[in-house]
Structure 1
Amino acid sequence: MQVYTNPVHAEYFADPFVWRSGDEYYAIGTGPMDADGRSPHADRPCVFPLMRSPDLIHWHPAGYALVPPDEALGHNFWAPEIAFAEGRWYLYYSVGHGDKQHQLRVAVSENPLGPYRDSAQLTDPAVVSFAIDPHPFQDDDGRWYLFHARDFLDTDRDDAGSIRAGTALVVSELETMTRLAPRVHTVLRAYCDWQLFAAQRPMYGQIFDWHTLEGPCVIKEGGRYYCIYSGGRWETDTYGVDYTVSDHVLGPYKVEAGIESPRILKTVPGHVIGPGHCSVVTTRDGSTRMIVYHAWDADMKARRMFIDELYFEGDQPRSDGPSWMPAELPLATVQRVKGPDNANRTN
């Protein structure tokens, strides 16, 4: 066993995406300048900080990933994720102007640490005014899908109650690694009180009680698809991590009534504030999943990178996090993970 203490990286590192290649782990995230719109525009990688680690605990800076695209696209760069396909590395991200006109794009590199150069637009702000948090997922048959978040203004009702206006989760198939299929499937709309971003929020020329679901991350377990997501307001203690499940990658995904708070990660007052926007990676022996996420410290000075185990109780994903005291990094907790395919690919 190795001992770690959260956060595992002391500097600002939001929206962490971690993947394993060979015997090493890599991480990419949203840096403070990316989030605030202060990233310089230059013909060199200066967007999205990179790190590498031999063990998920000790992280070392590895430069920056993305060469900034056309400055007219915006200065705010959010939530990068990496996929490897056809011998190349693909960086999915959003760029825009503050919290408006965010679009999804993809950049390509021959190396996991870049440099990544912008290659294609995936969503058009003239059609989809706000699209963020792209998550590429490869199914067992080799097909790729892109989960992400976008805005909905309508409201409706279903068996769980009212469906709220706000940012919610969708998925489309990737026709190629740089082209998104036009058909969009809704994964989950906000329907719980704890998912409120702001009451009476001015949006699109109207006033809404605005709710937010974002940061999708999909794992496959027991033949089912678990979309783990973050909800609430990222700047407050309401923010946390929950999930929805489906028998098919494109849905329908389950809507459960009576969910009063996030079930995987939530605030621990006085210690960890607003845990969210996670990725999932397996330990080197392939037996244990770790959930990697950001959270505020008690003084809310920065969003930093945390790790904890993700396991299943029956058919429900769970974590004992967020942790803030020294904990052991599990390497072989197979008995806590359901089913024979506990080492499935996680993206």
Structure 2
Amino acid sequence: MRPPAAAAARTYRNPVVARNFPDPFVLRHAGHYYAFGTTGRGRTPDGRVFSLLASDDLVNWRALGGALTPPAGSEEFDFWAPEVVLHQGTFYMYYSRGGGAIGATVGHQLYVATSPRPEGPYTEVAALPVADSKFTIDAHAFQDTDGQWYLFYARDFTDSDDGYYPGTGLVVDRLAGMTQLAGQPRTVLRARHAWTLFEANRTMPLYGGRTFAQWHTLEGPFVRRHAGKYYCFFSGANFLTDRYGVDYCAADNVLGPYVDSGSDAGARVLHSVPGHVRGPGHHCHVMSPDGRTEYLVYHAWNEAMTERQMCIDPLVWTAQGPRCLGPTYTTQPLL
């Protein structure tokens, strides 16, 4: 962890947070940045869930403890992938919990917590159950131009209808309120490219010990509206491998249909650099301190593969689609 800077940083070098900080989400509010990271079944020193950092420049970060007060009886569960939005003076945190020490036969479900302050502490207020889903993770709230909120998330599909691979895919539903889904989910994207393979011949206790010849993963949705189109970014493949990276699909309407222009060649937006960066992904988007440059904030493995550390790099919109100017591993100018 680097100490606070007296003046705004002009350069950066990844990782900007050189400790374990998986699934980073960064909220920009009132001139400050707040970063939330997955803690799994662990607790921060103050007994809370989700690591919390603050910064004024995206580069120098200070620890603020934990963000979420864990509900009673949740000690054995994993908490994953927090994201926070502000609506009418209240901060809403979306995340999943489940599995953990209870075992692989217990799935994950989405939850929402609230706080009057960006740094929390947050208190769980509701579950967001998804019908017919035993494994639902990576909630991402998106507000459209008319003010309506939607929740994008990842869930398992066990069928291979229409030639898709079984595995985790992406879904969107309207939020009937900030703490309730409308219950009208639409599929955004399912796996159909070889690079998103999580594991071959994967036996799943969650589905009665069924073995899937190919199990694929699309996760970590994050939506951006750009030039009149909706881009749903996502991470794909096994997070332990060098195939893991960030790609996207696009639509003319927030509810789709979304068009997948990817290929078997691999992730187009962000991908590993052999010998330097492994498994970059599960990202969010945030603007630079001067509001001019869009950055991806993502995690990548350290050399020993013992920590997923927080990194940043600029995103650019090209004629071929969105592309990250990274992952970088040398000193870079902060744009």
Q: Indicate how the Cα distance of structure 1 residues 218 and 45 shifts in structure 2: closer, same or farther if over 3 A, else same.
A: farther
The answer on 1:320 being equivalent to 2:322 is: no
Distance 2:186 2:50 in 1: 29
Contact 2:108 2:135 (C-alpha < 8 Å) held by counterparts: yes
Residue type of the alignment partner of 2:166: A
TM-score by length of 1: 0.88
Distance 1:13 1:50 in 2: 9
Contact 1:73 1:95 (C-alpha < 8 Å) held by counterparts: no
The answer on 1:193 being equivalent to 2:201 is: no
The answer on 1:227 being equivalent to 2:232 is: yes
Contact 2:13 2:329 (C-alpha < 8 Å) held by counterparts: yes
Unaligned runs of 5+ in 1: 331-347
Cα RMSD, aligned residues only: 1.7
Distance 2:114 2:55 in 1: 22
Distance 1:314 1:299 in 2: 37
Deviation at 1:283, TM superposition (A): 1.3
Which residue does 1:112 correspond to in 2? 118
Which residue does 1:92 correspond to in 2? 94
Distance 1:287 1:264 in 2: 20
Deviation at 1:63, TM superposition (A): 1.3
Distance 2:293 2:27 in 1: 14
Deviation at 1:216, TM superposition (A): 0.4
Deviation per residue, 1:165-222 (Å, 9 max, x gap):
0001001011100001101110000111000000000121321110000000111100
Which residue does 1:150 correspond to in 2? 155
Which residue does 2:5 correspond to in 1? none
Q: Name the stretch that deviates more: 53-62 or 248-257.
A: 248-257
Residue type of the alignment partner of 2:170: L
Question: SS of 1:194's equivalent?
Answer: helix
Contact 2:128 2:180 (C-alpha < 8 Å) held by counterparts: yes
Question: SS of 2:285's equivalent?
Answer: strand
Question: SS of 1:198's equivalent?
Answer: strand
Deviation at 1:74, TM superposition (A): 4.6
Deviation per residue, 1:270-329 (Å, 9 max, x gap):
111100100000112222100000000222120000000011002610012100000111
Contact 1:45 1:65 (C-alpha < 8 Å) held by counterparts: no
Which residue does 2:3 correspond to in 1? none
Q: Indicate how the Cα distance of structure 1 residues 143 and 284 shifts in structure 2: closer, same or farther if over 3 A, else same.
A: same
Q: 1:5 aligns with which of 1, 13, 37?
A: 13
Q: 1:23 aligns with which of 15, 23, 31?
A: 31
Which residue does 1:239 correspond to in 2? 244
Which residue does 2:6 correspond to in 1? none
Q: 2:307 aligns with which of 299, 302, 319?
A: 302
Question: SS of 1:15's equivalent?
Answer: coil
User: Identity of paired residues, percent?
Assistant: 48
Which residue does 1:340 correspond to in 2? none
Distance 2:63 2:263 in 1: 43
Which residue does 1:335 correspond to in 2? none
TM-score by length of 2: 0.91
Distance 2:17 2:288 in 1: 18
Deviation at 1:62, TM superposition (A): 1.1
Residue type of the alignment partner of 1:268: V
Q: 1:253 aligns with which of 236, 246, 258?
A: 258
Tell me how many residue pairs correspond in the alignment: 319
The answer on 1:39 being equivalent to 2:40 is: no
Which residue does 2:277 correspond to in 1? 272
Question: SS of 2:306's equivalent?
Answer: coil
Unaligned runs of 5+ in 2: 1-8
